[in-house]
């Protein structure tokens, strides 16, 4: 693999300065991915919104990110990498400030949309710039360091944001990001080299609009499906039909247009095509425990918020260890690292399936570390195996689609797991309460009942609460089973990946 002309034009000091500025920008954006989920209860009370209304603050942010991320390649071709990075981070920082200053639900949703749209190019473009700035022999190390920023950010955000919200107000969880954003903009202005003059590139509006409609409808279905009982809802049915029709129009147009919005010819590269599939699996598995564990531990196991934050923080420690190990494995066959990473996730999933509501903090923290190690080890070989044979001019567009599939995988799998938890909890509660009846002779045996009683209303209420806890735990165990099975299934796909190529197209 030959080094890019841009990498050859930089000194080592310039490369590391670029890495520092890029990582600051991408970490800032990734920190906000899950931070709003932690703040929803406080925001709901302050803005006098219903649970369904306040959820739009998360849903529309995801929608905006999904729509704008694929435009990264066009933005770069039109305005240059430096301009896109600086203006994207500047707009994201301003929108973050106004998120904290919002005094109504409408204002909050508007600025969350702006936050997602303006910040969407940061992560894929940061990844593309770093891969283009360093010699190919350092790709493993660079990808490890960048991966830590992408993975650890969503762990830091909810932990630190939850602390500030508890001590002060939910607004400070947004305000804390503004000084960091200002520092990042200054660093990018001083460090990123100027791009050569860019040619005027027309946007393929047909391709963009059909793709945007597809992504919007898909994200709405995934975000609102569970609350609206999926296809029992007219809204979900209509959104699904529109998504299918828009996707069909997008594919037909992209395959027949001279300069489509997304060049689907990238998918003819077998390494890149398989990489998209694997990064979707990666997205499905990456954030699922981070989303599911807090609700389980808080509502059913009685863990305080501070302890939950420390447990999630242990995942960041594991990710750091995993990325550090991946630096030394960068020269080996990428398939080995990917198989090892998914294998560790299988182990962590089996461990989660064996837990009950009496689990202690140490066990959860160790499992969280194991999850982080798996994520860290897998990301580096995945990136190395996906992009070596793609042309350099396609990198911003290819990287945008790569990260988009990661986000779609996360939304899809989290929706499936939440649906399973709710379904299993209701079904098992019904089955177990059928046994609480005067005709069940076991309930009359003192050594079988212990301190439980069904002779009084308080006793029945206490019994009902415990049955609900156990029924919910069954649902979470089933979700962790999906997590484990998906990890095992991904291992089978890795055997299809080809070894890293030694030559790359000019």
What does the pLDDT look like over 90-99, one tens digit per residue?
Answer: 999 999 999 8
Alpha carbon distance 28, 488 (integer Å): 32
User: Which are the contacts of 320, defined by CB distance < 8 A and separation ≥ 6?
Assistant: 148, 152, 372, 376
Alpha carbon distance 91, 202 (integer Å): 23
Residue 354: phi and psi, rounded to 5, are -90, -5
Residue spans of the chain under pLDDT 50 = 1, 500-506
CATH architecture classification, 262-506 = Up-down Bundle (1.20)
pLDDT on residue 351: 92
Q: What angle do CA 35, 179, 88 make, to 5 degrees?
A: 75
pLDDT on residue 134: 78
The two three-digit tokens of residue 8, written as one number: 């050859």
What's domain 1-201's superfamily in CATH? MFS general substrate transporter like domains (1.20.1250.20)
Long-range contacts of 94-97 (CB under 8 A, 24+ apart): 95/119, 96/32, 96/174, 96/177, 96/178, 96/181, 97/174, 97/175, 97/178
pLDDT on residue 331: 63
Phi-psi region of 202 (alpha: psi -120 to 50; beta: other; left: phi over 0): beta
pLDDT on residue 77: 77
Place of tokens 């960091």: 180
Work out the widest C-alpha separation in the chain, in whole angstroms. 85
Q: Give whole-number Cα distances, 269 to 68, 335, 386, 390, 476, in Å.
A: 24, 17, 9, 7, 38
Q: How far is CA 368 from the centre of its chain?
A: 16
pLDDT on residue 7: 63
- CA dihedral (60, 62, 67, 69) in degrees, to 10, reads 140
Place of tokens 């005094």: 103
pLDDT on residue 94: 93
Global pTM reads 0.75
DSSP category for residue 320 = H
Alpha carbon distance 447, 451 (integer Å): 9
């Amino acid at each position: 693999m030959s080094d890019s002309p841009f990498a050859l034009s930089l000194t080592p000091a310039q490369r590391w300065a670029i890495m520092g500025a890029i990582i600051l920008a991408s970490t800032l954006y990734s920190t906000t991915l899950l931070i709003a989920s932690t703040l929803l209860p406080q925001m709901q009370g302050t803005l006098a919104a219903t649970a369904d209304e306040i959820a739009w603050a998360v849903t529309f942010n995801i929608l905006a990110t999904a729509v704008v991320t694929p435009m990264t390649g066009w933005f770069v071709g039109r305005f240059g990498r430096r301009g896109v990075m600086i203006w994207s981070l500047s707009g994201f920082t301003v929108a973050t400030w106004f998120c904290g200053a919002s005094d109504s639900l409408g204002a909050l949703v508007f600025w969350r949309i702006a936050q997602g749209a303006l910040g969407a190019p940061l992560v894929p473009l940061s990844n593309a710039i770093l891969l283009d700035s360093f010699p190919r022999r350092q790709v493993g190390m660079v990808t490890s360091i960048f991966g830590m920023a992408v993975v650890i950010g969503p762990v830091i955000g909810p932990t630190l944001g939850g602390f500030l919200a508890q001590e002060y107000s939910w607004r400070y969880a947004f305000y804390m990001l503004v000084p960091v954003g200002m520092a990042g903009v200054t660093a990018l202005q001083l460090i990123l080299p100027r791009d050569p003059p860019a040619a005027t590139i027309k946007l393929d509006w047909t391709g963009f609009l059909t793709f945007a409609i597809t992504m919007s409808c898909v994200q709405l279905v995934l975000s609102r499906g569970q609350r609206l009982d999926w296809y029992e809802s007219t809204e979900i049915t209509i959104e699904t039909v529109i998504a299918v029709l828009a996707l069909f129009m997008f594919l037909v147009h992209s395959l027949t247009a001279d300069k489509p919005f997304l060049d689907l010819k990238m998918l003819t590269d077998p390494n890149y095509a398989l990489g998209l599939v694997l990064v979707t699996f990666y997205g499905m598995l990456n954030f699922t425990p981070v989303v599911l564990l807090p609700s389980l531990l808080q509502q059913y196991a009685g863990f305080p918020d501070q302890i939950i934050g420390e447990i999630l923080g242990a995942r960041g420690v594991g990710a750091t260890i995993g990325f550090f190990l991946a630096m030394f494995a960068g020269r080996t066959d990428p398939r080995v690292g990917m198989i090892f990473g998914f294998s560790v996730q299988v182990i962590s999933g089996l461990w989660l399936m064996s837990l009950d509501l009496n689990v202690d903090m140490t066990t959860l923290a160790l499992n969280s570390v194991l999850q982080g190690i798996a994520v860290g080890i897998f990301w580096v070989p995945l990136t190395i195996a996906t992009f070596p044979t793609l042309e350099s001019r396609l990198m911003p567009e290819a990287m945008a689609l790569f990260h988009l599939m990661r986000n779609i995988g996360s939304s899809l799998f989290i929706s499936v797991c939440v649906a399973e938890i709710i379904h299993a909890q209701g079904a098992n509660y019904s089955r177990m309460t059928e046994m609480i009846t005067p005709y069940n002779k076991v309930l009359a045996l003192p050594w079988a009942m212990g301190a439980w009683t069904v002779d009084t209303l308080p006793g029945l209420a206490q019994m009902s609460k415990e049955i609900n806890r156990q029924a919910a735990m069954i649902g979470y165990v089933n979700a962790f089973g999906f997590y484990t099975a998906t990890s095992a299934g991904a291992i089978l796909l890795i055997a299809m990946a080809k070894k890293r190529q030694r030559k790359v197209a000019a």
